[in-house]
């Protein structure tokens, strides 16, 4: 008898995975850009794994290896649990007509897992640390760790989804992440000081664990697929009693846009996760205010990826009808900007509140730097979101908890560009605060906010052009 | 400025190298219902989108209720009720919120009773406060017709309103079209369902390859003879 993980089924799932990857590659809109992006990612990975070995490194770097191993576990598991089983190779609706097995779906999510800025940045950091503290010989252990942790995260993600679909708290699956946190100490020791044989054995053991965890993930994916996605069904069948009609066009449009965000499972779950997780990490790490100034940038660049990079997809095919309504385009843009800014500010503030619990009382300049950093990164994220949404729209249904507003590689590009810009902003404002130059701090923030405001106004003007708008509508409502 | 209805002259719409509409002329008088028929890609939906103000014309003119859709887009949109051919609904808003949005942006007062009646008429009263993401195709079509008709527009544009709709829903949609025509609205119905189109419209225009090939009384397109005539026009 064939079972979900019998060899014939596994073989078929691997063949289907190959077909789906081919389909994704064949339907890429800008193949040259994809090739360049993949080459760039490979180049950065090779550089991270080799270049630090050539430079002298302080001995305290060795102590950072274990936290780096643990950070990858936390980030990968968190992302997989929030995404309800990871990314989809094919979106749910178009995939529904094809006989795609849950194991194929699981393998696809495993393949796509590294295509996220969170995973990549953590992986580059680990490879660089390994190279700096132990040289290239330690890299097989680091790479095997990345594979094992990715498989573990995917399995925990499916376990969480299975629990959700059985009406149990998804958080009950989180202790499984302990299987990744427990071996960090011995793996770090082998990675830093191990012999060649020890490293070889550790890498082999980790690869074996990756295989076992990938198989376990397949079993959990099959179990989860037997039940309907409960969160989505609950949101779609819930009653929303009528409220009085708002007094202005902007308020009415904003209400619909807010509903589109907070009634979407992935957006609601992602916003809460991105608000709480970095704050909890800051709280656990006991970050001081000079470090907290960097946190809003990370939150903003994460939150904007939930829907900001493809703002008009919130309306789905309804954008066609909304475009026929008699409302000035600037009102529509203002409402969308307002709602996005709300999500970014809310996430940033929640993180800062959590982080501040152990950071002590800030000095005046520190408080000012944090507030200005939050405002500046929100401005940067909003202006980028408006520009990218108009330039590269995608037809996406954000109904599924696993949906993302753009293809995986595009998401990596967006997140890295934003993370770099917002981190530099945080470093600049934090540095000026530490230097005690409040005057320059205010001036720098004013410049950054002005640049963002100008870009937002320009993007709104471009949206007023009916030809540009029609092109976006045609894609989003396709 | 013309008195009302729909007036399309030499309409052309290009999407890059593709010419979706290649010189369409149409006229729908107030109180008249005209059906747009044609094969896939004939330019029906694009013509409807131009009249709804969603797609700007590349050349030619399109006027609704006397307003040029290019020169006075907001005024034109106020006069039009549009049921798009696909989707047309914001997935995570309820039918009632859709009605509120349309009413607010058109400055309607006392619209609630008509909104409730239309929802009941199209058998959507029981789902007025649920998000539309879980709606069937037929329910979505019916709600799009309600949204197009709420403000009693001077020009009613219905693109594939019968697609996937059950016979009761089709009858209710007929009622909406009849009501609109009776109060003097110009109605344009784009559909692939010829037999339904000839029941509810007085005239039929056939588009082919982005141009209008014929406009004939609906009677010429009904029955087996009409089917043969229609096929001949499509060939």
All structural domains of chain A with their residue ranges = 7-234, 249-476
Q: Do B49 and A320 touch (CB under 8 A)?
A: yes
pLDDT-derived band of residue A1, with 50, 70 and 90 as boundaries? very low
Residue A478's nearest CA partner among A115, A24, A89, A91 is: A91
Per-residue pLDDT, averaged over A172-184, amounts to 86
- Interface contact A470, partner B, CB < 8 A: yes
| Mean per-residue pLDDT, A286-291 | 85
Number of domains into which chain B is organized = 1
Cα end-to-end distance, chain B, whole Å: 37
Residue B144 in tokens:
């799009």
Residues from chain B contacting residue A318 (CB–CB below 8 Å)? 87-91, 93, 132
| B52, B83 contact by CB (below 8 A) | no
Kindly report the number of other CB atoms within 10 A of residue A258's CB atom: 17
Question: Can you give the length of chain A in residues?
Answer: 478
In this complex, the residue of A252, A264, A325 whose CB is nearest that of residue B92 is A264
Contacts of A466 in chain B (CB under 8 A): 56, 70, 73
- pLDDT, residue B52, reads 96
Q: Is the pLDDT of residue B145 over 90?
A: yes
If you average pLDDT over residues A8-22, what whole number do you get?
85
CA–CA separation, A96 and A110 (whole Å)? 20
Report the mean per-residue pLDDT for chain A.
89
Tokens read off for A361: 């009382």
The answer to ipTM > 0.85 is yes
pLDDT digits (tens, 9 = 90+) for A340-350: 999 999 999 99
Q: Do A320 and B86 touch (CB under 8 A)?
A: yes
pLDDT tens track for A32-52 = 888 888 899 899 999 999 888
In the predicted model, is pLDDT for residue B126 greater than 80?
yes
Residue A60 pLDDT more than 80?
no
Confidence of residue A413 (pLDDT cuts 50, 70, 90): confident
pLDDT of A8 over the 70 cut: yes
Name the more confident of A398 and A449.
Answer: A449
Instruction: Report the CATH number that the domain containing residue B228 is assigned in CATH.
Output: 3.40.50.300
* Distance (Å, whole) CA A274 – CA A297: 12
Instruction: Judge whether residue A175 has pLDDT over 90.
Output: no
What is the pLDDT at residue A393?
93
In chain B, whose CA is at the least distance from the CA of A399? B133
Q: Which of A55-59, A292-296, B59-63 has the lowest mean pLDDT?
A: A55-59
DSSP B147-185: HHHTT--SEEEEESTTTT--HHHHHHHHHHHHHHHHTT-
Whether the per-residue pLDDT at A162 is higher than 60: the answer is yes
Give per-residue pLDDT as tens, A208-248: 999 999 999 999 999 998 888 877 788 788 899 999 999 99
Instruction: Give bridge partners of residue B81 from the DSSP assignment.
Output: B156
Closest CA to B211 of B74, B6, B11, B3: B11
pLDDT at A97 over 60: yes
Instruction: Give the global pTM.
Output: 0.88
Q: Is the pLDDT of residue A469 over 70?
A: yes
Does residue B176 form part of some domain? Answer: yes
Instruction: Indicate yes or no: CB of B97 within 8 angstroms of CB of A241.
Output: no
Using only C-alpha atoms, what is the Rg of chain A?
A: 23
Report the alpha-carbon distance of residue A115 to residue A414 in Å, rounded.
12
**Average pLDDT of the segment spanning B35-42:** 92
Do B75 and B87 touch, CB atoms closer than 8 A?
no
User: Which pLDDT band holds residue A5 (cuts at 50, 70, 90)?
Assistant: low
pLDDT band at B1 (very low <50, low <70, confident <90, very high): very low
Contacts A–B by Cβ distance under 8 A: 129
**Residue B201: domain span:** 6-234
Percent of chain B at pLDDT > 90 equals 79
Q: Is the pLDDT of residue A91 over 80?
A: no
Query: Residue A325's pLDDT is what?
Result: 96
Percentage of chain A with pLDDT > 70? Answer: 99
Tokens of A363: 């000095």
Rounded to an integer, what distance in angstroms lies between the CA atom of residue A469 and that of residue A462? 8
Which of A94-98, A400-404, A463-467 has the largest mean confidence?
A463-467
Determine, yes or no, domain membership for B1: no
Q: For B61-82, what is the mean pLDDT?
A: 95
Q: What is the dihedral of CA A160, A163, A169, A175, to 10 degrees?
A: -50
CA distance A69 to A65: 6
Q: Which residue has the higher pLDDT, A66 or B144?
A: B144
Q: Which residues in chain A are contacts of B130 at CB distance < 8 A?
A: 236-240
The strand ranges marked E within A284-371 are: none
pLDDT for residue A214: 93
Q: Do A256 and B97 contact (CB within 8 A), yes or no?
A: yes
Q: Do B134 and A474 touch (CB under 8 A)?
A: no
Instruction: Give the span between the Cα atoms of A383 and A454, in whole angstroms.
Output: 9
| Residue of chain A nearest B76, judged by CA positions | A326
Q: Is A114 on the interface with B (CB under 8 A)?
A: no
Calculate what percentage of chain B has a pLDDT beyond 70.
99
Percent of chain A's residues with pLDDT above 90? 50
Residue B159's φ and ψ, nearest 5 degrees, are -105, 115
For residues A157-166, average pLDDT: 91
| Section B198-213 average pLDDT | 92
Count of Cβ atoms closer than 10 Å to residue A247 Cβ: 9
């Amino acid at each position: 008898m064939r079972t979900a993980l019998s060899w014939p089924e596994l073989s078929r799932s691997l063949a289907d995975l190959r077909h789906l990857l081919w389909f994704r590659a064949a339907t890429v809109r800008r193949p040259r850009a994809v090739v360049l992006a993949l080459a760039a990612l490979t180049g950065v990975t090779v550089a991270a794994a080799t270049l630090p070995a050539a430079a002298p490194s302080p001995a305290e770097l060795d102590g950072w290896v274990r936290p780096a191993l643990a950070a990858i576990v936390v980030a990968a598991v968190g992302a997989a649990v929030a995404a309800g089983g990871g990314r989809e190779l094919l979106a749910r609706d178009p995939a529904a007509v094809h006989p795609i097995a849950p194991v194929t779906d699981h393998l696809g999510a495993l393949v796509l897992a590294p295509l996220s800025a969170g995973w990549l940045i953590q992986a580059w950091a680990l490879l660089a640390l390994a190279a700096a503290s132990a040289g290239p010989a330690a890299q097989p252990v680091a790479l095997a760790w990345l594979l094992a942790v990715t498989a573990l995260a995917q399995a925990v993600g499916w376990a969480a989804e299975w629990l959700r679909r059985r009406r149990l708290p998804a958080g009950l699956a989180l202790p499984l992440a302990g299987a990744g946190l427990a071996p960090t100490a011995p793996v770090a020791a082998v990675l830093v000081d191990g012999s060649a044989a020890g490293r070889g054995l550790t890498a082999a053991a980790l690869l074996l664990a990756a295989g076992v965890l990938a198989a376990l993930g397949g079993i959990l994916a099959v179990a989860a697929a037997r039940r309907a996605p409960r969160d989505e069904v609950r949101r779609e069948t819930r009653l929303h009693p009528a409220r009085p009609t708002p007094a202005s066009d902007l308020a009415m449009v904003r209400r619909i846009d807010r509903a589109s965000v907070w009634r979407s499972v992935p957006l609601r779950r992602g916003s809460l996760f991105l608000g709480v997780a970095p704050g909890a990490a800051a709280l656990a790490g006991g970050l001081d205010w000079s470090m907290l100034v960097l946190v809003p940038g990370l939150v903003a660049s994460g939150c904007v990826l939930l829907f900001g990079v493809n703002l008009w997809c919130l309306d789905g095919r309804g954008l066609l009808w909304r475009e026929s309504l008699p409302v000035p385009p600037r009102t529509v843009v203002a409402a969308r900007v307002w709602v996005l800014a709300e999500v970014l500010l809310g996430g940033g503030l929640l993180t800062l509140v959590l982080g501040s619990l152990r950071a002590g009382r800030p000095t005046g300049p520190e408080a000012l730097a944090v507030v200005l950093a939050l405002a500046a990164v929100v401005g940067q994220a909003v202006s980028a979101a408006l520009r990218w949404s108009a330039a590269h729209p995608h037809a996406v249904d954000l109904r599924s908890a696993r949906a993302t507003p753009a293809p995986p590689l595009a998401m990596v590009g967006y997140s890295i560009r934003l993370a770099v810009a917002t981190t530099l902003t945080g470093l600049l404002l934090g540095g000026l605060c530490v230097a005690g130059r409040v005057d320059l701090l205010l001036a720098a923030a004013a410049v950054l906010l002005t640049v963002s405001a100008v870009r937002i106004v320009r993007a709104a003007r471009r949206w007023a052009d009916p030809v540009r708008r029609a092109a976006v509508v045609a894609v989003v409502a396709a | 400025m013309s008195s009302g209805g729909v007036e399309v002259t030499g309409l052309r719409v290009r999407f890059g190298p593709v010419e979706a509409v290649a010189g369409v002329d149409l006229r729908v008088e107030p109180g008249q219902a005209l059906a747009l028929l044609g094969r896939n890609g004939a330019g029906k939906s694009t013509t409807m989108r131009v009249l709804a103000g969603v797609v700007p014309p590349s050349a030619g003119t399109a006027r609704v209720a006397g307003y040029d859709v290019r020169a006075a887009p907001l005024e034109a949109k106020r006069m039009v009720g549009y049921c798009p051919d696909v989707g047309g609904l914001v997935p995570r808003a309820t039918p009632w919120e859709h009605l509120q949005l349309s009413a607010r942006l058109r400055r309607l007062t006392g619209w609630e009773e008509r909104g409730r009646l239309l929802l009941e008429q199209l058998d959507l009263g029981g789902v007025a406060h649920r998000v539309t993401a879980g709606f069937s195709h037929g329910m979505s079509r019916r709600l799009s017709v309600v949204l197009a008709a709420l403000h009693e527009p001077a020009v009613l544009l219905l693109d594939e309103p019968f697609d996937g709709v059950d016979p009761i829903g089709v009858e209710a949609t007929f009622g909406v079209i009849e009501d609109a025509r009776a109060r003097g609205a110009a109605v344009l119905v784009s559909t692939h369902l010829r037999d339904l189109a000839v029941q509810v419209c007085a005239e039929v225009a056939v588009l082919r390859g982005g141009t209008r090939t014929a406009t004939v009384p609906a009677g010429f397109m009904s029955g087996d003879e009409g089917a043969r005539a229609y096929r001949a026009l499509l060939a």
